Structure 1
């Protein structure tokens, strides 16, 4: 199944997005609703809250008095963390139960207000962030929830900032217009990305465009996107997984195709094969075909590796799985670091890319045209490495 994380600041319209996704067929798991469920009268959660904060947080009927509890924890970091330590583990347990109960081909959307603050983004295949202008959020909170402007501003200020949310989101849904506009945005996302992502994930298919060659200006979002993808891989394989951003999108100022190249280091190719299934489960299916790199300067020989892509139609990825310390592993890092350190080499590569893209309209022809340049780059990078005492970087 496809697991989608949905978040957004208070008043941004996250609930409206969740409702529309449910209408399209998604299974919605609402963390706010679960946080209420786990502290109903008679639950261990409620008993633990009373033990921590006193009977004054209960109504006359024995239910949780949320305003009274809120007054105790708002602005008190220790109290807030105590409350989170009671509620969050129970919500996570209930979320896991509901997820396991969903169908194998389900699209499960976890509606989590504090997804970014809790560091949960890497645990999902896709993260959606709903974003709205701050003044509009304050207006909505005053009109729809009865807050004063000062109360609304304080609630917004107590959450993480929009920039941090955007960095965590694979998709940012802007909600500054009316409901029809928001529904249209969600519908396009569902049709063009989410449905295909689930299908690709279930069938083990990676997305690859072998035809269109478009060289784009350097985009500062490429490293941000790479960080999200690497965090997802580390979460799926274990925190010590060695995955790095390589290729043209890892070089500041270098034009490139809109494809993120990553490299996962392993001890042996047998280890790479053993990881293939797990990588597929977290959204990076193995890509069929020959698994090797051109052995630079050694005609007729190749360097073995394994190769994965992305199941996400909205994010093309080349995930190279190479043995740490192998020639192909070394060249990938050396070329990246050389182009980062030597602007003349970077600019020469950029000029060559533009010429190849002009001459070749398909990616296969474009890739073949690059080979002589790569051979020359291999020699230039080796000379540079010897001169500066280069060691592989992160």
Structure 2
């Protein structure tokens, strides 16, 4: 489950313009690794996955709305949303998916905007798993960066890091934009099929480009 739209304008009209990048990629592509590498070089990274988890953790501001809509069974003993139960529900029930998105998307949008306004860095990177699917980030950021890898590599990575079976991973991939759709939306692409060392020159090149864009504003 990846209930992320977060499609708000990322800067208020009166703020000094900040150069921003929308970072995305399929499950298992290595988005987080790439985002961390940019952060190490001075970019401010705002991750909508992290924001969504904060909203649905114990004490998160989405919890009571989720409880009211779905019932106590979907809140675990710690007070967090039961992610496994909710994932099963939204995969089997499109109406439930829409209901969860109606709760989370406005909150994610607001928190993403707030994080962008507070962030300190040479430029902003918004890491958005479903950036292509949301259909409106192209107008919100200066560039779209896609982390790309072979679909078989995606499968292997996700299965190695989780208890999911191949059919379960393929089911998740089927809910996401296709590899071709992501590449068509991209201004920039980082290929992450193999060794970490192969990422370094790609990140360095784009970091220099994004810093130059930022200075030009």
TM tier relative to shorter chain: 0.7 to 0.9
1:182-226 Cα distance to aligned partner (Å, 9 max, x none): 1221111112x111111112xxxxxxxxxxxxxxxxxxxxxxxxx
Give the alignment partner of residue 35 of structure 2, picking from 18, 34, 42: 18
What TM-score do the two structures reach when normalised by structure 1?
0.49
Give the counterpart of 2:117 among 96, 100, 103: 100
Shift of 1:7: 0.4
Local SS of the residue matching 1:38: helix
Superposed CA offset, 1:244-291 (max 9, x none): xxxxxxxxxxxxxxxxxxxxxxxxxxxxxxxxxxxxxxxxxxxxxxxx
1:7 partnered with 2:24: yes
2:126 to 97, 110, 121: 110
Question: Of 194, 198, 212, which residue of structure 1 is paired with 2:214?
Answer: 198
Contact 1:7 1:14 in 2 (8 A): yes
Higher-RCO chain (CA-CA 8 Å, sequence separation at least 6): 2
Question: What 5-or-longer segments of structure 1 have no aligned partner?
Answer: 202-394
- Residue aligned with 1:116, SS: helix
Taking the aligned partners of 1:52 and 1:21, their CA distance within structure 2 comes to 38
Aligned residue in 2 for 1:376: none
Rounded to whole Å, the distance in 2 between the matches of 1:62 and 1:99 is 28
Which among 102, 109, 119 is matched to residue 85 of structure 1?
102
Runs of 4+ in 1 over 4 A off after TM superposition: none
Report the 3-state secondary structure (helix = DSSP H, G, I; strand = E; otherwise coil) of the residue aligned with 1:61: coil
Partner of 1:51: 68
Q: CA deviation at 1:39?
A: 2.3
Shift of 1:34: 0.3
Bigger Rg, structure 1 or 2: 1
**Could you tell me which of 61, 78, 86 is aligned with 2:78?**
61
Which residue of 1 is the match for residue 59 of structure 2?
A: 42
Q: What SS is found at the alignment partner of 2:92?
A: coil
8 A Cα contact 1:14 1:130, kept in partner:
yes
Looking at structure 1, the residues matched to 153 and 56 of structure 2 have their Cα atoms a distance apart, in angstroms, of 32
**TM-score, structure 2 as length reference:** 0.87
Distance in 1, matches of 2:156 and 2:133, equals 24
CA RMSD of aligned residues (A): 1.4
Q: Which deviations, in whole Å up to 9, do the C-alpha atoms of 1:92-130 show, x marking residues without a partner?
A: 111111111134x63111111011111222211111011
